[in-house]
Structure 1
């Protein structure tokens, strides 16, 4: 432990106080006794004591222990094992530790967000850091450094949440530069060399990052020369005609044609350079041999490249360009405009004419291909010099996969945000419904069925129960409903609900059910799975009726097994590799419109007329499947061999293995059985922050014969426990301001270890199970009726 000496300022302050006290004592003695010698003696004693104290403090200073600095060696060791650049900062914005990859990438140990990005990048990184302190995590999708693209993830960490972990990893740009480096240094570079092409990858500072064998041999005299990191310009000289040659070869060998090929955006991006021998008399135009070299070079490019002549026609395109443009490379179009939608043709034609006429700077355009008009692609245009008949260089980036991933991530983020909102709304709404239903029950106790108000009260209560069912659907969508999973076979669930489906679909719809072989067991709530099948079937029926008023069509339900190997072949970024049992529900209702397909799982989104649907059917399906650990996909089926066009919903449920660890048993759900006698005695401490819910519960329990002590939050409940006798039962809400229910219960159990607890909440038990994982705890879900509350209390106290 390190020590800190006592401050000199504190010592001087103490000495001043001692002298002041001595002077005051001498003055009092002089006034009361009237003896000057005695007063002087008191003053002298104070001065001597003060001097002794100062001398003692100087010789023997007190120390204050400081906490030992945490040992960050373990964190650094873990960070070094990651291929990403990782740094940790504290609340004061100081750099705590970072790995070697971080130092290499940023040229030292700069402190985030002050890293060598442009102004926009630093601003985005700073905003991500502030968001991480607030929300726990944040990220930046695209940052540029030395021509490479990085993405950053910032996460709040530490026991007290006082640290930020900054993780930087490469995106496509850095991967492309690394891929090009590997190609040049490996077999692809050797193949270029056999075609007479010397290739090198040059960093923005002009130093060589990679070179193929033939270039190393020509520039340094042997193939194994250490050329990486050397200045590329120092290997070249120019003759009197301005032609480039290798310095070590002098003017004896043929001159070189130097081709610079930019393949990444940004001024700091690495440059691909190709060198080709050319004849002395071939300065004006490129020869046939060199033209073949150029075609070979273009065809080997891993990214989409095409050459355009001065007349605006295609001269050559490589396979990557053809794939990105979705054309046949053996029968390419004549003009670039033939690939584009009508609105973009003029802009691209003007740019090509400008660069063919001598423009030097490259440009990037967002264009739309006529085969994919809804997904813009990036088209780079630059002037081509020294490429013979070619005047313009086009580079087309195939970002369809990136666009798809962005769309899926945006959809998943939106669904998560809407789910959190739905869960919060359902919780608050359940509190309101608890008060409404409770007051209705209390009023019904004072009215008999013959009273004029009895039917009105019953109507209010019935509508409140309908509203409670809507909140349960919202909780299902937000994956917060209470499930009772079992290990079951999917065909058994389908067979249980088949008779109900036949009645729902009617006689005009043909229902076909087909089960595959070797289906593994799944772990899910059978009642919730039945609801999934019913909701999908009802939506299919409505789709077929909207297509044909008679409602004729076919609903096909199929189950089959999918192995891990088959999942890997799907190459899905969403579906993890595992064994699944698949439930497929397909109809012949014409399919889902493309503009509706991304929204179908959102709550309250419906294409039906007003009053004919809540829009919660598919959102409930989505929530149940996700909470069961599965995945659901919706797609359209075109008319063909499988029959008429329609929609198909595919649900993947993971196969349950016997070796899976059993989950912790949930809190006891009350009531299990209805006791005959609901009257009781004893003292109950009721803790609830909602006044209306607390009032209903207090009146209910008092009518049943209990003595009720009420508290509006956890602190007030602990004060009642400290000042009064032990209650027989503690009933508490889970989510409360200041102090939540589980925290309050743990402190109460420290005083009374055997105190029985009943938690009540508008959130589902699945959501709060971890926080209420205590012994001798029961759970009562809101909204509850007066009868249910009385039964819950009686069930707990009667079991004691």
Structure 2
């Protein structure tokens, strides 16, 4: 009997006597026996209930619990290779084992250990999770010197759950090739040998690194013989039929089937300092699986071979003689695009319809023919546009397995191919756009010039005046379109200046407010200490306007047309670029312009296409979600891309997810390199010389192969008072000079059949070194100046008006004469 029971027995006796006396008093007072009995029954019920409640109460802690003996706990938590520590709610170290003291010191309690900041944050999160949820874990905890790595786990413990038990387990670096060598020398090698398969690990130099015990027996006659360092090829022999035998056994032994499994990619990823091409060599006895006991042995060998192939990082699969899949490892499934799907019955089920027949024929041919191998190009159903290489090898002696298939996971290679193809396509379209724009500029020059000449003969109010003005206005709109084409192809004429991006944003912000309307809020924010950039301010304004118009169209297509557009400039240092880990942006200082809207974002399938020319998601006559165009032509973002790239910058687009206070949207980030040279002083604008100063006295050699442009330019310059000699090509122009012609200036096209403008100018300069040259072209001035190295060269861009060509010639002559 317990102490509690001994104390409560007298108490129950006293209560019983008291209840009987009380019942007698009730009987005497009332004279009724029933009332006394009822009273006695009620008291009995109360006593039983009180006894039950007393038993349910916990016993006195002071009588049952002794002070904890932590030395017993320390002895219990001593484990090799695992550090264990116990802390209380005040984060005080209660006890720890020897491994913890050696690794972290007895004076440090987790999570406050002498580690770097990321590790401390991870331990702190694990501690909070443990106190809140009962357990927490932090993986990849590195020591301060980087020589150790642990996985930490914390669990709440104790009757009152007032303690945390921390366990730190060390993580060893994985060495796949070394582990495979140890496995071959152990149970895995014994298992393969019993199944008729001998295995050896061979380095790229052809020397043996490790072998299975059965391999050593077949080669040296002793399972414990050390084969490491021997030449693998010298251990084998072949006969006139190219059958392979062990050198020690000669033809007395059975022929072997050699399966070569390269491990070079694994060695490079697991151990960068290892040899480039270690290989796993499997020698399969030809008698395995060929009837009788051999057949059973071959059937038994297949599961072991599947286990071995499943551990390799190469995409490998096996089929039977009829071409049915027997096995495929995880890398093969991943490369075939069926990582999360069941394996189909036949390899032909993985390819497109056009490749089914060749795959079926090849698998069956290698399954029933001699043991040989080949590669063939196939197209998988999941990626029909990207051919991959399928390796097919016939194997023998493996029971049902007759064909070994290999497929390389080419996801990264496919991504790079797509990037190269995209860049090539953009370059080709850019060259085409530049050529079209150049030819179109010749036509527009003739149209605009002819309109100018006609307007000189008409006054406002004439019946034809308004029609001519309309033609001229439409021609100018077409000229703006050609400038977009040239911007996309990066062949437009830029006049870069050293400027601050916030100044450009300030200049264009009033225009943006009118473009966006009242329902769209415009917010502008600038970082401090922004570096200057070198860009054309007008073209940079065009970039901002195009992006803002796209954002407006996207927001108007969503709901009530309201939203928020933010323009921000940020400073990005070289260290920030390193942290980004980008393979596109070179390391350096950048000023970034960020344009972000709340228009719902860009569909993921369109993100890779938005900078392509003529790509648009707008419906006919209206804007669409993240329209990506300007005016629906599909040139808005391609123009932006061309301007940014021609300015030496980079542009990226991504989506911003919705948050509690804002809607989802798109973000464009324009990176412009910071200008590090001296800040140039602004040169005052030179006033154009009055054209009348040379009226009738200046002699011009005009060389242009386009008849329309030549006629307009000749009439314009003649009306301005110049004497013009017009030539149709470079040879004719050079002949005019060689025949004694005296000219004050040469006005020439750049690209012409036969002798082009620069070649003609160089030939003329040999005879007349001081003669000024004015080139007319629809190509970019900057590109021409890089390609044409001629002193005192001037440039006028097509299309030009009658007044512009006259003023330009006057300005060049004025500069040449004084």
Deviation, 1:398, is 1.8
Distance of 1:432 and 1:222 partners within structure 2: 85
Deviation, 1:479, is 0.3
* Alignment counterpart, residue 512 of structure 2, candidates 493, 501, 511: 501
Deviation, 1:649, is 3.0
* Alignment counterpart, residue 626 of structure 1, candidates 636, 645, 670: 645
Distance of 1:749 and 1:476 partners within structure 2: 33
Where structure 1 has 5 or more consecutive residues not aligned to the other structure, the ranges are 1-182, 203-207, 265-269
Pair 1:729 & 2:725 matched: no
Distance of 1:631 and 1:340 partners within structure 2: 44
Distance of 1:247 and 1:739 partners within structure 2: 76
Contact 1:486 1:525 in 2 (8 A): yes
* Alignment counterpart, residue 564 of structure 2, candidates 554, 560, 563: 554
Find the counterpart in structure 1 of residue 479 from structure 2: 468
Alignment deviations for residues 105-154 of structure 1 (CA, whole Å, 9 cap, x no partner): xxxxxxxxxxxxxxxxxxxxxxxxxxxxxxxxxxxxxxxxxxxxxxxxxx
Alpha carbons of structure 1 residues 381 and 747: separation in structure 2 relative to 1, 3 Å = closer
Distance of 1:479 and 1:669 partners within structure 2: 28
Distance of 2:568 and 2:332 partners within structure 1: 41
Deviation, 1:509, is 2.4
Distance of 2:642 and 2:771 partners within structure 1: 36
Distance of 1:327 and 1:770 partners within structure 2: 53
Pair 1:366 & 2:369 matched: no
Distance of 2:760 and 2:609 partners within structure 1: 42
Deviation, 1:556, is 3.9
Alpha carbons of structure 1 residues 701 and 300: separation in structure 2 relative to 1, 3 Å = same
Find the counterpart in structure 2 of residue 424 from structure 1: 435
* Alignment counterpart, residue 607 of structure 1, candidates 598, 602, 617: 617
Pair 1:707 & 2:723 matched: yes
Find the counterpart in structure 2 of residue 757 from structure 1: 773
Distance of 2:348 and 2:498 partners within structure 1: 54
Alignment deviations for residues 370-418 of structure 1 (CA, whole Å, 9 cap, x no partner): xx89978666676775557877755443222222222222222121111
Contact 1:366 1:379 in 2 (8 A): no
Distance of 2:728 and 2:684 partners within structure 1: 24
Distance of 1:582 and 1:194 partners within structure 2: 59
Where in structure 2 are the equivalents of 1:184-333 lying within 5 Å?
187=178, 190-191=181-182, 193-195=184-186, 196=189, 198-199=199-200, 210-214=206-210, 227=231, 230=233, 233-234=236-237, 246-248=246-248, 258=257, 260-261=259-260, 273-275=281-283, 283-285=294-296, 294=305, 297-299=308-310, 301-306=312-317, 317-318=329-330, 320-321=331-332, 324=335
Distance of 1:503 and 1:695 partners within structure 2: 43
Deviation, 1:477, is 0.9
Alignment deviations for residues 702-728 of structure 1 (CA, whole Å, 9 cap, x no partner): 222222222222222222212224322
Where structure 2 has 5 or more consecutive residues not aligned to the other structure, the ranges are 1-174, 190-197, 264-277, 622-630
* Alignment counterpart, residue 584 of structure 1, candidates 594, 616, 619: 594
Alpha carbons of structure 1 residues 421 and 376: separation in structure 2 relative to 1, 3 Å = closer
Alignment deviations for residues 560-579 of structure 1 (CA, whole Å, 9 cap, x no partner): 45555665666655444555
Find the counterpart in structure 2 of residue 6 from structure 1: none
Distance of 2:380 and 2:644 partners within structure 1: 39
Deviation, 1:615, is 2.3
Contact 1:510 1:553 in 2 (8 A): yes
SS in 2 for 1:547: coil
Alpha carbons of structure 1 residues 740 and 547: separation in structure 2 relative to 1, 3 Å = same
Alpha carbons of structure 1 residues 644 and 279: separation in structure 2 relative to 1, 3 Å = farther
Contact 1:671 1:791 in 2 (8 A): no
TM-score, scaled relative to structure 1 = 0.62
Pair 1:745 & 2:764 matched: no
SS in 2 for 1:458: helix
Number of positions where the alignment pairs a residue of Structure 1 with one of Structure 2: 590
Find the counterpart in structure 2 of residue 61 from structure 1: none
Distance of 2:501 and 2:208 partners within structure 1: 59
Distance of 1:475 and 1:764 partners within structure 2: 8
Deviation, 1:313, is 8.3
Distance of 1:643 and 1:343 partners within structure 2: 45
Find the counterpart in structure 2 of residue 24 from structure 1: none
Distance of 1:522 and 1:617 partners within structure 2: 23
* Alignment counterpart, residue 673 of structure 2, candidates 627, 651, 654: 654
Pair 1:673 & 2:688 matched: yes
Alignment deviations for residues 630-676 of structure 1 (CA, whole Å, 9 cap, x no partner): 2333445555679544443333333433499x9xx9xx999853637
Distance of 2:603 and 2:684 partners within structure 1: 43
Distance of 2:502 and 2:443 partners within structure 1: 40
Where in structure 2 are the equivalents of 1:47-86 lying within 5 Å?
none
Question: Please, which moves more after superposition, 301-310 or 762-771?
Answer: 301-310
Deviation, 1:789, is 1.6
RMSD: 5.0
* Alignment counterpart, residue 434 of structure 1, candidates 441, 445, 469: 445
Distance of 1:791 and 1:284 partners within structure 2: 97
Larger of the two Rg values belongs to structure: 2
SS in 1 for 2:800: coil
Contact 1:312 1:352 in 2 (8 A): no
Pair 1:527 & 2:530 matched: no
